[in-house]
Amino acid sequence: MEKETLKFTPRTDLAIEIGALLKEEHDDDNYEIEGVQIDTNTQPVFKKTHITILNEAGASAMGKPVGHYITLESQELKENDPEAHKKIIQEVSETIKSLLPKTKETLNVLVVGLGNRQATPDTLGPYVTDKVLVTRHIAQFVPEAIDESVCHLSSIAPSVMGLTGVETSEIVKGVASHIKPDCIIAIDALGSRSASRINTTIQISNTGISPGAGIGNKRKQLNEETVGCPVIAIGVPTVVDAATLVNDTMDCLIENMMMETDNNALLNMLNDLGQQEKYSLIQEVITPVMGNLFVTPKDIDEVIVYLGNVIANAINIAVHPGITINDVNKYRY
């Protein structure tokens, strides 16, 4: 088991899933991960899980840097339910606010919408970029037109390396070196290891993000070290890969069949494999044939609008002192 943990490459960007994987591997639902603190809080509309990676031991166990990882889970996220969304906006905005630097009255915030505008499940980031209230140019060119009710917000959607030919982190770095923001808020669509998480989970962390990790390859990080200011990352899983889908289905299938058969070499063999090994096996088989397929809900166009509005509103409320929950959907640009 030790060896396995060492070669463990998490195929998820969600800290909450890594925690669950570790518990699974130790076959112990109450397994405590050293150096990691987990608090949960269940509300009528959402469940909030706050994972704090306290030290290097925790970082090594989780495969993620020291810092805060807050997850909100809500089935209503993918429904057209403005009342529920208002509650989620409130919670997300408070979470963002708690992670913002406290150094200044009027922050200079750069919102970065990661992802590809040409592939629907990957448009979440650019959508948010289009919807936050952008003020930096007004502060700069017509300062008399705004007051302290707004911070200095700018926003870019740097597209993806396959379309630009440039590492996304380098575009952000280039722009940030000019703007010198106090804080970057980066939004990205993620992949998940569970179909049930698609469009129902928001993760907010203060440890940066890997552009394109969800859908493309893992690339250079956007974090305080690379861009020179704190990076708050907001991610929502909008796709699962084909291998995850097969893996989950096979698990269900085997479980169902288990009851009907006793002596079963394949079953035993599959069960002897760790989760990660089984997934790798499936991935190996699936890649040549279906490597560029993705799995997403039919109504993804519509759901991106809900998710994007939730996140854009939450950012507006968190960063602009004068905007409150009563202004939901009031500011689009």
Q: Which of residues 204-243 bind a second copy (CB under 8 A)?
A: 215, 242
Instruction: Decide if residue 75 touches a second copy (CB under 8 A).
Output: no
Nearest to 183 by CA among 150, 227, 221, 134: 227
Min separation Cβ 46 and a second copy, Å: 19
Min separation Cβ 258 and a second copy, Å: 9
- Alpha-carbon distance of 277 to 24, in angstroms, equals 13
How is residue 20 written in tokens? Answer: 């669950």
One-letter amino acid at 134 equals: V
Q: Which of 167, 224, 275, 280 binds a second copy (CB under 8 A)?
A: 167
User: Mask: binding to a second copy, 81-120, rule CB under 8 A, as x and -?
Assistant: xx----------------------------------xxxx
Q: Judge whether 294 and 66 are in contact, CB under 8 Å.
A: no
- The CB-side HSE value for 255 (13 A sphere, CA atoms) comes to 6
Interface stretch with a second copy, choices 153-161, 182-190, 203-211, 228-236 (CB under 8 A): 153-161
One-letter amino acid at 217 equals: N
Min separation Cβ 231 and a second copy, Å: 17
Instruction: Decide if residue 56 touches a second copy (CB under 8 A).
Output: no
Instruction: Decide if residue 80 touches a second copy (CB under 8 A).
Output: yes
Min separation Cβ 179 and a second copy, Å: 6
Q: Judge whether 93 and 202 are in contact, CB under 8 Å.
A: no
Instruction: Decide if residue 178 touches a second copy (CB under 8 A).
Output: yes
**Cβ contacts of 98 within 8 Å, gap of 6 or more:** none
Q: Which of 32, 104, 163, 322 binds a second copy (CB under 8 A)?
A: 163
Whole-Å CA distances, 102 to 66, 98, 149, 187: 19, 9, 16, 21
Q: Kindly report the number of other CB atoms within 10 A of residue 199's CB atom.
A: 26
In this complex, which beta carbon is closest to a second copy, that of residue 66 or of residue 254? Answer: 254
> Cα torsion for 55, 56, 59, 60, to the nearest 10°?
-150
Pairing of strands 152-156, 108-113: parallel
SS3 40: strand
Instruction: Decide if residue 57 touches a second copy (CB under 8 A).
Output: no
Which residues, in sequence order, are bridge partners of residue 202?
72
Instruction: Decide if residue 245 touches a second copy (CB under 8 A).
Output: yes
Pairing of strands 152-156, 201-205: unpaired
Q: Which of 24, 156, 226, 228 binds a second copy (CB under 8 A)?
A: 156
- Alpha-carbon distance of 200 to 152, in angstroms, equals 31
In this complex, which beta carbon is closest to a second copy, that of residue 27 or of residue 262? Answer: 262
Min separation Cβ 153 and a second copy, Å: 6
Min separation Cβ 272 and a second copy, Å: 12
Number of residues that bind a second copy (CB under 8 A): 82
In this complex, which beta carbon is closest to a second copy, that of residue 51 or of residue 222? Answer: 222
- Alpha-carbon distance of 94 to 327, in angstroms, equals 15
Min separation Cβ 33 and a second copy, Å: 27
Instruction: Decide if residue 252 touches a second copy (CB under 8 A).
Output: yes
Residues 291-310 that bind a second copy (CB under 8 A): 292-299, 301-302
In this complex, which beta carbon is closest to a second copy, that of residue 216 or of residue 321? Answer: 216
How is residue 270 written in tokens? Answer: 């599959």
Min separation Cβ 92 and a second copy, Å: 19
